[in-house]
Structure 1
């Protein structure tokens, strides 16, 4: 008789679980009434016959909440999510508590905020990303809510003073994120860029210690991003998904130049694969040349960089031809990074407030030529031709920022011009006309992409 009772108990509980499964399946195919019928039947069976099976009771409430959320009955959705949450909290099911809290936010159509901090070679950047689940499409929607950068901290010099100053800035970004947006600490991502890793020769231990000490949290997770992941996250953070497989990305930063392209997975459903490149960045390239020639003699530096760039161009060509042939086959080339930004701002200041800016090889070649023949004129473009006063004022402020903060040294602008020239020409060489594009406001693109990837992983999307 004991055996019989035990088998009966098991069969009845299995039946209740089948009701949950069937109800959820009907929800997925928008059979509203059948879904509600089976989920309600599961709840009634569990609460009457199995009152101790609290986990499955909560699971049934959770699925019923999802049903009402999908049909935009927000009050009913919150009611059942609250029932599920109460059970999960009392039983200390930590993962389930977090999951239901996310669901409650999406049902209430509220954005959840995440912060990402990019620790770069010449500055620290903050991106705050809002995310919410669209109940109709069941897809995550993202919006950059806040961006901020401190470009005056040279972390690449590898000394304690710079590390302490950087850690202090990071702390202020973290506190601001927690207070202004109510972001929990586990939604704040701190990442050291590949450019900075190269500048400090891959030794990030001391820098991590300083950041953790400033935050008062020795367990604060700090991610170190390599150039392939950084290029991949730039694509995710700045390029529409519909263009991933027809585009090439080149990001010319101060510490390094990274880029590449996505290729589709071998089978449907497989994750895309990122194939990347890495070369010197603007300031790294300038510094390497200054070690060989007198940096006080600008003309000698110009002669040197012209010679060095011929060799660099051959290296880029071999990389593209032998290892990354798709770099030259894609229809659209995206140029990102400080060098590309400066090229656009100095050569086309009238487009300062535009989002997507088409570039051409003539402008890029002229940028390189002017950098070595008349850098004073290059630094001070004629703004009188800009009729819109707001655009003219904005461009004037951005150019002042370039001259005073971003590239105060002529050597760095010359280096930037040569790198933009080399990459843009090689990526479009011999294959007809391609679209070369710069996207304004993407200085936090890769850290935004990293936040997005983290959110999508949490949601299982």
Structure 2
């Protein structure tokens, strides 16, 4: 993350005021080197760093030595001179530690890991109303100082936690215990890198009976490390964490995010002062499907579709359009990150050749066309032409992915979700019809990514209050 590099420079400057710098001339040379580095004047920066380091060694100025090594490490990383970068970063860390500057040493350690290609494993266990899901990701700081996330493991165990019975509590505890065994014994992940979170949907059910604290306590396995806390989040927190985890940093404060779940649709955006503004609707794919089936003959598809369109026109349209009257910023943004099971279905069946892409761009017309094909040409839309996928491995991955889609959603579920989504996005796009819509493949692990981003941010802030 670029912020880490900036934090390193900030700490270097601020800490310097508390150090006994033996030569202001040397310090100014190194500050000039930093400026040249930021300006991409690499040859000149190297000359200034070497000059500053030579002077610092002659004066036994340890802080300036560390600063010079740190800067040279970043310089050589930019020049793809890995061995030199590693050597310089290690020298800087050693000196910072000897000077008891542990925070800046920690920052530089992250820069060192970036060059070495070393990541940290994190595990997130999400306790949901219908199952326990574990995601394990490898987090690495890339050469351009952005965090890269690689999914190592993604698995789930079906439970019925929402029933709030003794049996469901035991099943949940047992599932967490199984995951903890994998995390501790097989993956050797530090307990400090493990998060257990009760989802907002399950929390909503537990809150009806004032049982959230009881539930968090009773599902905790006996041998779970005491460092690990069982936490819970509400819908707004989940939305904010998802946005932080899903949306790349460069778009984070200028874009929208929505997730169409089974029971609701939630997301949000950051306003001009970086406060998170939630956007939530109590409609999702499954909840809309249940509503339609309660009002129609389940064997009559035409009646089902007409009822969906009628509900939108008679009630949902006014709810959605009214909701956005004080959230015009959401409509005015250029980019929308759109996730959820129904979006996954549309993307998978419309662009099977993009199955391995982390981000897939969709158009409003893609959603509308998919809606029409679900109703009028279901066999065609669910049996795409794989001959258009040149790479055999990609074709096989696409087939497997689409089989999972069709196993997860039947025709009526997809129709319900797509009609809701199509009409919702049309309303969102009334101001900017050419809004770029992006499906993030790993959106389902967005909350843990958001946790990590907050963790890193807080690690290096608040020291000067």
Q: TM-score range by the shorter chain?
A: 0.7 to 0.9
SS at match of 1:190: strand
Q: Give, in whole Å, the separation in 2 of the partners of 1:208 and 1:316.
A: 35
Is 1:312 aligned to residue 316 of structure 2? yes
**1:325 Cα shift?**
0.8
Which one scores higher on RCO, CA 8 angstroms, separation ≥ 6? 1
Is 1:231 aligned to residue 239 of structure 2? yes
Is 1:352 aligned to residue 355 of structure 2? yes
Q: Give, in whole Å, the separation in 1 of the partners of 2:168 and 2:58.
A: 61
Q: Give, in whole Å, the separation in 2 of the partners of 1:102 and 1:164.
A: 42
Is 1:332 aligned to residue 335 of structure 2? yes
Q: 1:183 aligns with which of 170, 180, 189?
A: 189
Q: Give, in whole Å, the separation in 1 of the partners of 2:299 and 2:54.
A: 79
The C-alpha deviation readout for 1:77-118, integer Å capped at 9, x for no partner, is 546745765897xxxxxxx76874664464364433333334
Q: Give, in whole Å, the separation in 1 of the partners of 2:358 and 2:20.
A: 52
Q: Could you say which residue in structure 2 is the equivalent of 1:19?
A: 21
The C-alpha deviation readout for 1:256-314, integer Å capped at 9, x for no partner, is 3112222232xxxxxx2222201133223334555x54785565655543333332232
Q: 1:275 aligns with which of 274, 277, 286?
A: 277
Is 1:383 aligned to residue 385 of structure 2? yes
Larger radius of gyration: 1
Is 1:150 aligned to residue 155 of structure 2? yes
**1:169 Cα shift?**
4.0
Q: Could you say which residue in structure 1 is the equivalent of 2:41?
A: none
- How many residue pairs get aligned? The number is 409
Q: Give, in whole Å, the separation in 1 of the partners of 2:244 and 2:23.
A: 34
Q: Could you say which residue in structure 2 is the equivalent of 1:422?
A: 423
TM-score by length of 2: 0.72
Is 1:443 aligned to residue 444 of structure 2? yes
1:249/1:79 Cα in 2 relative to 1: closer, same or farther (>3 Å)? closer
Q: Could you say which residue in structure 1 is the equivalent of 2:203?
A: 197
Q: Give, in whole Å, the separation in 2 of the partners of 1:170 and 1:412.
A: 30
Gaps of 5+ in 2: 1-16, 34-47, 74-83
SS at match of 1:403: helix
Is 1:126 aligned to residue 132 of structure 2? no
**1:452 Cα shift?**
2.0
Q: Give, in whole Å, the separation in 2 of the partners of 1:418 and 1:234.
A: 24
Is 1:243 aligned to residue 251 of structure 2? yes
**1:330 Cα shift?**
1.5
Q: Give, in whole Å, the separation in 2 of the partners of 1:349 and 1:331.
A: 26
Q: Could you say which residue in structure 2 is the equivalent of 1:117?
A: 125
1:252/1:200 Cα in 2 relative to 1: closer, same or farther (>3 Å)? farther
Gaps of 5+ in 1: 1-14, 44-59, 89-95, 266-271
